[in-house]
Structure 1
Amino acid sequence: MLLSQKDINDYKEKGYLFFPSFLSSHEIIQLNTELSILIKEESIKVYEKNEKTIRSLHAPNLQSVVFDDLQSDPRLLEPAMQLLESEVYVHQYKVNLKAAFDGDVWKWHRDYIFWQKEDGLPKSLLTNVVVYLDEVTEYNGPLMLIPCSHNVEMKNSRVKGDINQNNNEEWLNHLSADFKYTIDNKEIKTLVDSYGIVAPKGPSGSVLFFHPELAHASAPNLSPYNRNIAIITYNSISNTPIQESKRPDFLANKNYSPLKVKIIEKGR
């Protein structure tokens, strides 16, 4: 799929694009079947504070052909290349699982500061592609975005000390509910007063593209319905790290080879 010029202009202005019902129900069933297997296996998982509920599952492409194929799907990869105006590779790939009743908050933040400070990426030449594995409603903790905030300079990102700095797992503090880089509440209010908040909601199979400098967050999931989303972060091949990241490969992929578009079989 190729984006129209209007799509590209909207992305540049607002920082996101949303396409409801983008993937078929059959494809979502396949992805969720694979996810259920990965949850049971020795995959790379981060847990909520209760130490029982899975918060995120990383690098699913390394253990699942279905998830691996998804990152090269032309409906995702071609628009990413258009938005970044170059070939791309995947910097990070994860599934965020906001479990029914127990899925915790993701505080207001921007993604690029993590990739700049922790991984050495020189510019914000990345885009996040979010695939809704479940229906996302106003009740199950939808991703909230502040439109246009990717074009606003922020001064008050709050940096917290590494809770896990003594056990060689500092990266856990980048993924927990109390993660390292967040945005000052006063600055969020100023942004929302100017630009508002949107929360793209839609059925499973919907797809969201958003800029890595866009301020975003999500509330806890108090509903009885899961809100699982796969997030593929594409990086321009012109934006490889100026120094190798110390974080694990599943957080900062060190294979910078450009992805090739997968040919989709007829009738899919």
Structure 2
Amino acid sequence: MTTTTIQQDLYPTRTGEVPGPAIEREHPTVWGSEADGPFDAAALEAHEQRGFTILENFITPSEVDLYSAELRRLSADQSLAGDPRVITEKSTGAVRSVFEVTALSEAIDALSRDPRVLDRARQLLGSDVYLHQTRVNYMPGFKGSGFYWHSDFETWHAEDGMPAPRAVSCSIALTPNYPYNGGLMVMPGSHRTYAPGVGETPADNHSSSLKEQTVGVPSQEAVTEMAHRYGIDQFTGPAGSALWFDSNIMHGSGNNITPFPRSNVFMVFNSVENTLEDPYAAPTPRPEHIASRDFTPLR
């Protein structure tokens, strides 16, 4: 087991309108070994190199139905109207995401603790883990809006105080991910390069950034350089597929103008050896439902 050691801010960001230079990552992507979990050595090496892994048929069709029913229930729950955990589309007001979903759904809470999920998170991070963030995402047909290119770790570092990129996300598709319905695009290998964000963080930035992120995104020059350097892949596959991706990988999604909606369950696991400190580039931490400060190891 390897311990994260942070002596200084190794990932400075949001220092003004001129972004700092790209930083080559010092920390590993895979912290555990083949003996620690279900991924074999070849799969771990591929994940270390690419920064992501796609597993088809990760959950069963009946489980897809179960979690899809939970999404429909939460999106229609009038008791959640005005709840800060519910994020709506900027243009239409339709539900875009529901955060802290493990507190709202016993089924999804159980999924986060399922050995198929939890054992992989522990293996990739080389330690016990806790849930930094959970949510369900909806991208309706015709009107679903995407997200600009970004690194999750840049936001978690700047606004939540996550010291190092020792976190991993698991996105489980509840609908087919086609190349044309707003699927997630990733730059394979880009997790090895940290691109600082542009600008400074205003107070309560999360109230707008979860609808449309404009602060902390990389410059167009940085995105162009990384796209030429690493290329672009896309997460496609049937419902029930899972995408495991490193916290620092550059990713984004386009709008969905097709009739085919896209939805997923999204869980972020952070190492208990990488717990949050004060934000590195924001006046105050984001709320608990977005960035948990309960570091109790998940069982």
Alignment of 1:70-219 (within 5 A): 70-155=111-196, 157-159=197-199, 162=202, 165=203, 169-219=204-254
Change (3 A) 1:211 1:252: same
- The alignment status of 1:32 with 2:68, answered yes or no, reads yes
CA distance in 1, matches of 2:87, 2:252: 18
Instruction: Name the SS for the 2:249 alignment partner.
Output: coil
Amino acid at match of 1:11: H
CA distance in 2, matches of 1:120, 1:152: 19
Q: Which residue is equivalent to 1:248?
A: 287
Instruction: Name the SS for the 2:291 alignment partner.
Output: coil
Residues 149 and 252, structure 2, Cα contact 8 Å, conserved in 1 = yes
- The alignment status of 1:259 with 2:298, answered yes or no, reads yes
Q: CA deviation at 1:83?
A: 0.6
CA distance in 2, matches of 1:238, 1:208: 24
Q: CA deviation at 1:51?
A: 4.2
Residues 161 and 285, structure 2, Cα contact 8 Å, conserved in 1 = no
Q: Deviations for 1:212-244, whole angstroms, at most 9, x for unmatched residues?
A: 100000000001111111110000000111238
Q: Deviations for 1:45-82, whole angstroms, at most 9, x for unmatched residues?
A: 11112242222111111111101111111111111111
Instruction: Name the SS for the 1:80 alignment partner.
Output: helix
Q: Which residue is equivalent to 2:50?
A: 14
Q: CA deviation at 1:255?
A: 1.2
CA distance in 2, matches of 1:177, 1:241: 24
Aligned residue-pair number: 254
CA distance in 2, matches of 1:172, 1:12: 34
Change (3 A) 1:160 1:141: farther
Residues 20 and 207, structure 1, Cα contact 8 Å, conserved in 2 = yes
Instruction: Name the SS for the 2:217 alignment partner.
Output: strand
CA distance in 2, matches of 1:105, 1:37: 23
CA distance in 2, matches of 1:188, 1:254: 31
CA distance in 2, matches of 1:208, 1:189: 24
Q: Deviations for 1:111-146, whole angstroms, at most 9, x for unmatched residues?
A: 011111111111111000010011110121000000
- Compute the TM-score of the two structures, normalised by the length of structure 1: 0.90
Alpha-carbon RMSD across the aligned residues, in angstroms, is 1.6
Change (3 A) 1:170 1:186: closer
Q: CA deviation at 1:150?
A: 0.7
Residues 272 and 295, structure 2, Cα contact 8 Å, conserved in 1 = yes
Q: CA deviation at 1:160?
A: 5.9
Residues 97 and 229, structure 1, Cα contact 8 Å, conserved in 2 = yes
Q: Which residue is equivalent to 2:19?
A: none
Instruction: Name the SS for the 2:208 alignment partner.
Output: helix
Q: CA deviation at 1:158?
A: 2.0
Moved more, 231-240 or 186-195: 186-195
Instruction: Name the SS for the 1:210 alignment partner.
Output: strand
In structure 2, stretches of 5+ residues that fail to align are: 1-36
Moved more, 28-37 or 173-182: 173-182
Q: CA deviation at 1:180?
A: 2.3
CA distance in 1, matches of 2:162, 2:226: 25
CA distance in 1, matches of 2:186, 2:87: 23
Instruction: Name the SS for the 1:78 alignment partner.
Output: helix
CA distance in 2, matches of 1:89, 1:64: 17
CA distance in 2, matches of 1:159, 1:102: 29
CA distance in 2, matches of 1:153, 1:92: 21
Residues 53 and 243, structure 2, Cα contact 8 Å, conserved in 1 = yes
Residues 160 and 179, structure 1, Cα contact 8 Å, conserved in 2 = no
Residues 98 and 221, structure 1, Cα contact 8 Å, conserved in 2 = yes
Amino acid at match of 1:214: I
Instruction: Name the SS for the 2:274 alignment partner.
Output: coil
